[in-house]
Amino acid sequence: MSQTKFTLSENDLPKQWYNINADSPVPPTPVLNPQTKEPVTPEFLSVLFPMELILQEISTERYIDIPEEVREIYKLWRPTPLIRARRLEKALGTPAHIYFKHEGVSPSGSHKPNTAVAQAFYNKAAGTKALTTETGAGQWGSALSLSGKFFDLPVEVYMVKISYQQKPYRRVLMESFGGEVYASPSEHTQYGRSVLAENPDSPGSLGIAISEAVEAAATSGGAKKYSLGSVLNHVLMHQSVIGDEAIKQMDLADEYPDVVIGCVGGGSNFAGIAYPFLRENLLNGANTRFVAVEPTATPTLTRGPYAFDFGDTAQMAPIVKMFTLGHAFVPPPIHAGGLRYHGMAPSVCALVDAGLIETKAVPQLATFEAALMFAHAEGIIPAPETAHAVRAAIDEALDAKEKGEKRTILFNLSGHGHFDLSAYQAYMNGSLQDYALPEEAIQAALAQLPEVNL
């Protein structure tokens, strides 16, 4: 059989991150102060982030050098393999060629360390004493806990309560790496206590967890900084190592993708694989399609309006323009905890609005069906989040089969599901269910959008 795995050497590890702001045909929208609704200043952001990350956030340089200390840690797992899913192709009977970038080989099991290591490095260099953050399914919290240990930075994690309950071993993994983990909403912050006072049984949300982590940093007197695992430009930029490696690997395979697919919650793993290929569309005449896949239970891109909204529930984080379900939105307790955010990365949203990225929402049961099809064929159990990308890739392959056309499909397998087996158990015993978000729930949350006059 022809080659299945396409690997690079450490010498092929990217030396620079790619910044979509340099080439996007859509100008960046302003980021606003949540109190004044005026454009944020570096001074405002410096309460939460070190200056180097703030400069990366607003940079329009095409490439930013990766510090050698970060590249050395990347070498623990990077470059990650590109694999052709030949057995899945055969099972589907499709003429399509399916490739996936396997980010689950990282120490914490997902793509998240690509930015966690970088953020920990810049915070340590700036004299930060500790980091606070939120996490949904626990992939980000695990990555930051590990990265904090690499740079001797304590890490405080606010984990969405429903995921804290559903995924106990994610919590154990974070604690094994030295992270201190709280179920959010928690008693450890003023905002967490206020949520619990109103609803003691709150399942939590990423918006609530962000509020707690932001409060913990902002009230620390400068000792702690806040670290975010998705959404912001510098986070998406750090993930570009995925796509830049994949371009080299597709060249080794002597193919080029007709379509690139990723799941989206905040947008970082999708941007990581898609933006370098989008650069090739914008600068070099390539013609790849891009599909961002989300759950029908949290249909941010497919049903939310494109509007200015707070990044968190307590209205402490900056206001950004994005597709949103409203910062007050509390999503159903689906097992794809990392995809339950009310908003989306502003750069992804702008490109969707401009028609450069396609969107798709898939239900939970069809997602787990696809995940098991993939596991049976390729021997890898995907995390519930990235199983959405698997579903979309299978649908693309079946569409190619129906039309009798050759199609090259690339998707990002952004993490393994070894700590998500309770979700698979629920699917296999029939207790898992689909959630279709009622329109009235969306409208209720959207009624609280901030008034912004720009």
> Which tokens belong to 420?
């998500």
Which carries the bigger pLDDT value, residue 56 or residue 437? 56
Residues 303 and 47 sit within 8 Å (Cβ to Cβ)? no
| Residue spans per domain, the chain | 5-10+76-109+240-434, 16-66+112-233
pTM: 0.94
pLDDT, one tens digit per residue, over 332-348 is: 776 666 677 889 999 99
**Which range among 71-75, 94-98, 297-301, 367-371 shows the weakest confidence by mean pLDDT?**
297-301
Which residues pair with residue 18 across a beta bridge?
63
Tokens coding 240: 């570009």
DSSP-derived secondary structure letter, 221: T
Q: Is the peptide bond before 450 cis (omega within 30 degrees of 0)?
A: no
How does strand 16-18 pair with strand 63-65? Answer: antiparallel
Task: Measure the CA angle with vertex 227, ends 224 and 230; round to 5°.
Answer: 170
For residue 337, the model assigns a pLDDT of: 61
225 three-class SS = strand
Whose structure tokens read 């898992």?
432
pLDDT score for 49: 94
Q: Which residues pair with 110 in a beta bridge?
A: 415
- Fold match flag (5-10+76-109+240-434 vs 16-66+112-233): yes
d(CA 338, CA 287): 30
Q: What is the reported pLDDT for 338?
A: 66
- The pLDDT assigned to 441 comes to 85
Question: What one-letter code names the amino acid at 271?
Answer: A
82-84 and 155-160 as β-strands: parallel, antiparallel, unpaired? unpaired
Q: Which helix (H) or strand (E) holds 284?
A: helix 268-284
Q: What is the pLDDT of residue 76?
A: 97
Rank 203-217, 285-299, 302-316, 432-446 by mean pLDDT and report only the highest. Answer: 285-299
Q: Residue 59: its pLDDT value, please?
A: 93
Q: Please give the helix or strand (H or E) that residue 192 lies within, else none.
A: helix 190-198
Q: What is the pLDDT of residue 408?
A: 98
Residues with Cβ within 8 Å of residue 330, at least 6 apart in sequence? 202, 203, 204, 205, 208
Question: What pLDDT does residue 334 have?
Answer: 66
Check whether the bond before 79 is cis (ω within 30° of 0).
Answer: yes
pLDDT at 313: 82
Residue whose entry in the numeric block shows the structure tokens 């910062």 = 327
Q: In which band, very low, low, confident or very high, does the pLDDT at 399 lie, cut at 50, 70 and 90? A: very high
Rounded to 5 degrees, what angle do the CA atoms 138, 436, 168 make? 20
CA–CA gap between residue 254 and residue 248 (Å, rounded): 10
Strand order in the sheet with 180-184: 180-184, 155-160, 130-135, 224-226
Per-residue pLDDT band for 21 (boundaries 50, 70, 90) equals very high
pLDDT band at 166 (very low <50, low <70, confident <90, very high): confident
3.40.50.1100, 3.90.1150.10, 3.20.20.70, 3.40.50.300: which CATH number matches 5-10+76-109+240-434?
3.40.50.1100
More confident residue, 419 or 395: 395
Write down the pLDDT at residue 209.
92
CA atoms of 153 and 151, how far apart (whole Å): 6
| Sequence letter at residue 378 | E
Of the candidate CATH numbers 3.40.50.720, 3.60.20.10, 3.40.50.1100, 3.30.460.10, the domain formed by 16-66+112-233 belongs to 3.40.50.1100
pLDDT one-digit tens code per residue, 297-345:
999 999 999 999 998 888 888 899 999 999 888 777 766 666 778 899 9
Give the separation between CA 238 and CA 66, rounded to whole angstroms. 9
Question: HSE of 320 in the Cβ direction (CA atoms, 13 Å)?
Answer: 22
Please report where in the chains the tokens 């994610």 appear, as a residue: 170
Is the distance from CB of 71 to CB of 80 less than 8 angstroms?
no
On the question of pLDDT at 1 being above 60, the answer is: no
Closest CA to 162 of 312, 338, 382: 338
- What mean pLDDT is predicted for residues 280-306? 96
Q: Residue 270 — very low, low, confident or very high, per pLDDT cuts 50/70/90?
A: very high
Please determine, for residue 406, whether its predicted confidence score (pLDDT) is greater than 90.
yes
For the stretch 239-266, pLDDT in tens is 999 999 999 999 999 999 999 999 999 9
Cβ-proximal residues to 158 (8 Å cutoff; 6+ apart), any chain: 132, 133, 134, 135, 182, 184, 186, 188, 189, 192, 209, 210, 212, 213, 216
